[in-house]
Every structure is written in structure tokens, then in C-alpha cells.
């Protein structure tokens, strides 16, 4: 368990101030905004093979590079736009990952066009409620779950990329679909109180 000024946090956030702020203020808090959910899903996909802190540090650059994650705008990106992004040092310059965000934007728009809010679509995998866990150590926390496996399968079928079950589980943790703060963490009770119950 990480101790900083007598504050106990989930140990994965280490001593980096930005990482600690993300842990304290963002991670595990329910997100309902469809655009924010879309952005987080895309950003979690960008971390494949990397650490989340790498993407966290590039988050602002991603928002700038990808039209503030507005799917309607990203869906219009051309091959030239994607090629230009390969020269953007503020993001991970991986052609597959860049193309995935464009592909995901089109899949997002298809879900919304079918009459379902992306927020409802995403939250259906946990029946609209936060799964509140009470692990005592980080080592107990799984890397995927039946819900993340179901989400991954559905998202792939819908046309999304970089949405494997492990990425989906990390996303679910980040947006408060699952509360995986350890029970001794200083924000555990606060995030439990914020959990969606219906």
C-alpha cells in the first residue's frame, strides 16, 4: 500500500502527481456522458502494449489531434489526415491505433443512428449499475471479467477496434462501471457513495 502524507492510495498510481490526481479525482467515478465514454474507450485502446500513464500524459494532445473526440468530426478523417497524425509527436504514432479511433467513431455513430445512446449501450453490460468490489490488495483485482468479455465481443461486432476484454475491463474500472479501488484506499468510500445503483 502506497503511503503519501498519510494518504493511502491504490498502489498502481505510484508517486507521480498527475497519476495520483487521476486516481483521486477520475478513476472509478461513474461517467454517463456518451462523448466522454467514447473518448475514454479510445484512449484505453491506445494504451495496448503500453502503460496507462503514457497515454494519460498525452491525453490533451489526443483531444487536440482528434477533434475533441467528437465522433461526427473524426468519422470524416481521410487517409491524408491519418498520415498527418503519424507525424504528431503528442500521440502514439501507430497507424493501426490512429485508424482505430476513426473506425470507432464510425461505429459509435452507427449505434446512435440505430436509436440507442452510447451511454446506455455501454452501461447495459453491467445492467446500468456499478459493480462495487472490496478487494484489499491490488493483486486480487482481475484483468477481465464476464462483463468485459461480453462488452468486448459486442463492440468488435459493432465495428470497434482495440477493444479486447482486458482493455474493456480497464475502461470499466476507469468510468466507474466497476469500482476497483481497494477497500483501504482513501477514496474508496467516496467512490462507493457515487456508484450508480440503477
Task: Reduce the DSSP state of residue 166 to 3 states and report it.
Answer: helix
What are the domain boundaries of the chain?
A: 2-194
- Pairing of the two strands 178-179 and 7-9: unpaired
d(CA 13, CA 20): 6
* Nearest Cα residue to 142 out of 191, 184, 180, 189: 180
Phi-psi region of 142 (alpha: psi -120 to 50; beta: other; left: phi over 0): beta
Q: Any idea which fold 2-194 has? A: Endonuclease III; domain 1 (1.10.340)
Cα angle value 27/88/52 (rounded, 5°): 20
In the chain (198 residues long), the average pLDDT of successive 10-residue segments reads 70 93 96 98 95 95 98 98 97 97 98 97 98 95 97 98 97 98 96 91
DSSP letters of 102-139? HHHHHHHHHHHHTT--HHHHHHGGGTTS-EE---SSGG
Q: Following CA atoms 18, 86, 94, 91 in sequence, which dihedral angle do they give, to the nearest 10 degrees? A: 0
- What is the reported pLDDT for 1? 55
The interaxial angle of helices 146-158 and 165-174, nearest 10 deg, is: 110
- What is the reported pLDDT for 4? 46
Q: Are 171 and 44 in contact (CB under 8 A)?
A: yes
- What is the reported pLDDT for 135? 96
Q: Are 30 and 196 in contact (CB under 8 A)?
A: yes
d(CA 14, CA 9): 9
Q: What is the largest CA-CA distance in the chain?
A: 51
Q: Is the Cα torsion angle 36, 71, 118, 159 positive or negative in sign? A: negative
* In the block, residue with C-alpha cell 461486432: 157
Amino acid at each position: 500500500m502506497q503511503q503519501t502524507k498519510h494518504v493511502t492510495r491504490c498502489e498502481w498510481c505510484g508517486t507521480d502527481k498527475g497519476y495520483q490526481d487521476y486516481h483521486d479525482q477520475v478513476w472509478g467515478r461513474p461517467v454517463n456522458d456518451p462523448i466522454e465514454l467514447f473518448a475514454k474507450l479510445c484512449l484505453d485502446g491506445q494504451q495496448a502494449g503500453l502503460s496507462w500513464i503514457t497515454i494519460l500524459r498525452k491525453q490533451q494532445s489526443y483531444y487536440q489531434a482528434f477533434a475533441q473526440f467528437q465522433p461526427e468530426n473524426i468519422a470524416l478523417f481521410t487517409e491524408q489526415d491519418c498520415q498527418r497524425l503519424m507525424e504528431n509527436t503528442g500521440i502514439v504514432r501507430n497507424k493501426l491505433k490512429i485508424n482505430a479511433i476513426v473506425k470507432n467513431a464510425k461505429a459509435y455513430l452507427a449505434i446512435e443512428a440505430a436509436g440507442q445512446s452510447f451511454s446506455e449501450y455501454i452501461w447495459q453490460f453491467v445492467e446500468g449499475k456499478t459493480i462495487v468490489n472490496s478487494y484489499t490488495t491490488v493483486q486480487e483485482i482481475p484483468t477481465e471479467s464476464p462483463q468485459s468479455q461480453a462488452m468486448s465481443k459486442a463492440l468488435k461486432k459493432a465495428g470497434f477496434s482495440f477493444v479486447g476484454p482486458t482493455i474493456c475491463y480497464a475502461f470499466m474500472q476507469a468510468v466507474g462501471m466497476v469500482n476497483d479501488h481497494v477497500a483501504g484506499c482513501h477514496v474508496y468510500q467516496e467512490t462507493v457513495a457515487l456508484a450508480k445503483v440503477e
